[in-house]
């Protein structure tokens, strides 16, 4: 997953907030962002509570378990086939499963395998009228380039622990949540855990390559059993807990941007390079890309975008937030302030795409020989679609630019199989997309489920219960938007209550998806405590 994007955005936001005029500690009297009391579980199982997970006894046990999982290189490669039986590289997941069976024997009694390597654990509740709770993660990690091995401080699959950080591929993304969920569940089962509400653990194995083999099949299986909206709540990886403006923000992601890669090909006649036309199709496709980049998507704060509620929470609860931002956000209903807010967000390079559709021309292919005119050139442009926009908006824009150029050069245009301008002897533009994904349905930011997610977080990230939170640091919950996509894309029909949240300290996730990936150990202990408490709060 592009989980590290949230940490990058957080750093950009943090840097921007502190570059403006002096702060104020006197918020205006408003109530955009109500908070909840910490939700303390009913610890009626043996002697355990969330404090147990911070003990040296548990930490040592957990570290050994985590290291064992990191050492198994469950890598997803872009060229893996859809049929998982056709490539031996999938078999490494079987090794991980055998490790889980040995390490988590009680939890493993409830496992079934979906599409060979998807893990689905179902601990049946005593009350079948209650919708199940689903906890998600993924087993796979991104590859490590051979050329980068000498740049790692420690080998990427050695799982070295330096006393503060655990190093290795997958330590941040996201064997942390995978192991935390299993550890919390195993700890409960050791205490004869018997839920009233069914608990489901669902772990895909190809999230890093869009999840169609893993989460795609798992989501269908869950839907077949429980139907539309048959799940109470889903938790998957996402944002974390970030220090901003003198507070700690528990960012619960309630929305995901959409996704589409648009491919545009231009076919023209070939020939010898000694007799070229004024513009080869490489030049014309380059002109097309220039049109795109000269006309970026405008910022739009559309209805439902959690960016504004997030800033409103900052304005009400972050004591060191810049006064200018605070007043702009809290007085947003005044027409001019909405424009000011959009300008503020647009001025933060790493945050501006939370209110606009992004575009990136990432791949271009054309020509095969230096003295032969190219006959086909193709460009692929990646988009992350803004909340309130759609795939159709992107396609309409591409059709406009393609038809403008087609009329200029006397070409045809075919878009998604529909002829917009008849192809000519000179050439034709062809527009298409291998896969499309609309923006995710918005998850609730009020009601019982929201309060349980928020209340659990305020309990676990409380200075009275968490040794890693300073006593004078306020902690509050805010809704957030995710600019990338998670495996939850395959679960939309199962529930609207989907929260993408990693119960970690955001700054503890270091170098995800790149050299020297590592996770500060306190975040894993906190993650395990969070899942333990959340299971208790939602299933008993």
Within 10 Å of residue 197's Cβ, how many Cβ atoms? Answer: 21
**Residue 410 burial (CB < 10 Å; 0-12/13-18/19+)?**
exposed
Q: Are the C-beta atoms of residues 508 and 519 closer than 8 Å to each other?
A: yes
Please say whether the dihedral angle defined by the alpha carbons of residues 136, 140, 143 and 149, taken in this order, is positive or negative.
positive
Measure the CA–CA gap between 186 and 522, rounded to whole angstroms: 20
**Residue 447 burial (CB < 10 Å; 0-12/13-18/19+)?**
exposed
Measure the CA–CA gap between 496 and 21, rounded to whole angstroms: 40
Q: Are the C-beta atoms of residues 212 and 284 closer than 8 Å to each other?
A: no
Measure the CA–CA gap between 205 and 214, rounded to whole angstroms: 5
Q: Is 487 a catalytic residue?
A: no
Which position among 206, 207, 267, 316 bears the catalytic label? Answer: 207
Beta bridge partners of 242: 249
Q: Which of 301, 333, 331, 307 is nearest to 478 (CA)?
A: 307
> Which residue stretches of 277-376 are H helix?
281-294, 307-317, 323-330, 335-346
Which position among 140, 316, 340, 487 bears the catalytic label? Answer: 140
Beta bridge partners of 119: 113, 203
Q: Kindly state the DSSP code that residue 281 receives in the 8-state scheme.
A: H
Beta bridge partners of 443: none
- Residue 205: C-alpha distances to residues 68, 118, 138 (Å): 17, 6, 6
Going by DSSP bridges, is the β-strand pair 111-114/475-482 parallel, antiparallel, or unpaired? unpaired
Question: Which secondary-structure segment (H or E) carries 139?
Answer: none
Q: Which of 261, 282, 290 is nearest to 378 (CA)?
A: 282
Q: Kindly state the DSSP code that residue 17 receives in the 8-state scheme.
A: H
Read out DSSP for 247-278? EEEEEEEEEE-EEEEEEEEEEE---BTTS--S
> Which residue stretches of 117-173 are H helix?
none
Q: Which of 69, 223, 27, 251 is nearest to 157 (CA)?
A: 69
Measure the CA–CA gap between 110 and 91, rounded to whole angstroms: 21
Token pair, residue 513, equals: 């998806």
Only one residue has tokens 């290291």, namely 67
CA angle (384 as vertex; 379, 389 as ends), nearest 5: 110
Cα–chain-centroid distance for residue 423?
Answer: 41
Q: Is 140 a catalytic residue?
A: yes
Measure the CA–CA gap between 488 and 309, rounded to whole angstroms: 22
Q: Which of 7, 443, 452 is nearest to 254 (CA)?
A: 443
Residues noted as catalytic: 140, 207
């Amino acid at each position: 997953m592009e989980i590290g994007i949230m940490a990058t955005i957080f750093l950009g936001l943090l840097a921007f907030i502190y570059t403006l005029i002096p702060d104020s500690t006197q918020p205006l009297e408003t109530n955009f962002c109500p908070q909840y009391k910490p939700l303390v579980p009913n610890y009626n199982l043996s002697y355990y509570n969330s404090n147990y997970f911070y003990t040296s006894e548990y930490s040592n046990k957990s570290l050994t378990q985590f290291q064992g999982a990191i050492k198994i290189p469950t890598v997803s490669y872009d060229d893996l086939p859809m049929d998982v039986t056709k490539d031996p590289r999938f078999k490494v997941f079987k090794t991980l499963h055998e490790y889980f069976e040995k390490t988590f024997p009680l939890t493993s009694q409830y496992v079934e395998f979906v599409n060979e390597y998807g893990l689905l654990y179902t601990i049946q509740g005593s009350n079948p009228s209650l919708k199940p709770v689903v906890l998600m993660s993924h087993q796979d990690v991104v590859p490590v380039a051979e050329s980068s091995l000498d740049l790692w401080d420690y080998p990427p699959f050695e799982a070295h622990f330096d006393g503060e950080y655990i190093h290795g591929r997958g330590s941040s993304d996201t064997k942390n949540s995978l192991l935390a969920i299993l550890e919390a569940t195993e700890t409960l089962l050791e205490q004869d855990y018997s839920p009233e509400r069914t608990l489901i653990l669902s772990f895909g194995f190809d999230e890093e390559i869009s999840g169609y083999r893993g989460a795609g099949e798992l989501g269908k299986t869950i839907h077949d059993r429980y139907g539309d909206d048959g799940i109470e709540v889903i938790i998957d990886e996402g944002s974390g807990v970030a220090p901003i403006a003198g507070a700690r923000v528990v960012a619960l992601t309630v929305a995901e941007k959409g996704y589409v890669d648009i491919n545009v090909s231009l076919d023209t006649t070939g020939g010898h390079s000694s007799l070229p036309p004024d513009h080869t199709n490489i030049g014309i496709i380059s002109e097309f890309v220039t049109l795109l980049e000269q006309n970026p998507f405008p910022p739009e704060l559309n209805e439902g975008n959690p960016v504004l509620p997030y800033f409103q929470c900052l304005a009400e609860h972050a004591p060191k937030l810049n006064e200018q931002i605070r007043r702009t956000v809290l007085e947003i209903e005044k027409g001019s302030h909405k424009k000011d807010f959009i300008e503020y967000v647009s001025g933060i390079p790493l945050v501006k795409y939370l209110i606009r559709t992004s575009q990136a021309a990432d791949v271009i292919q054309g020509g095969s020989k230096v003295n032969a005119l190219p006959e086909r050139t193709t460009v692929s442009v990646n988009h992350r679609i803004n909340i309130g926009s759609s795939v159709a908006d992107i396609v309409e824009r591409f059709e406009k630019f393609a038809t403008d150029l087609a009329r200029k050069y006397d070409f045809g245009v075919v878009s998604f199989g529909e002829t917009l301008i008849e192809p000519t002897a000179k050439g034709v533009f062809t527009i298409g997309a291998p896969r499309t994904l609309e923006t995710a349905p918005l998850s609730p930011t009020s009601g019982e489920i929201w309060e349980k997610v928020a209340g659990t977080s305020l309990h676990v990230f409380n200075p009275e219960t968490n040794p890693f939170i300073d006593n004078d640091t306020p902690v509050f919950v805010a809704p957030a938007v995710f600019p990338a996509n998670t495996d939850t894309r395959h679960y939309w029909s199962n529930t609207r209550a989907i929260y993408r949240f990693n119960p970690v300290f955001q700054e503890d996730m270091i170098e995800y998806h790149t050299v020297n990936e590592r996770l500060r150990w306190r975040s894993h202990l906190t993650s395990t405590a969070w899942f333990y408490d959340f299971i208790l709060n939602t299933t008993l």
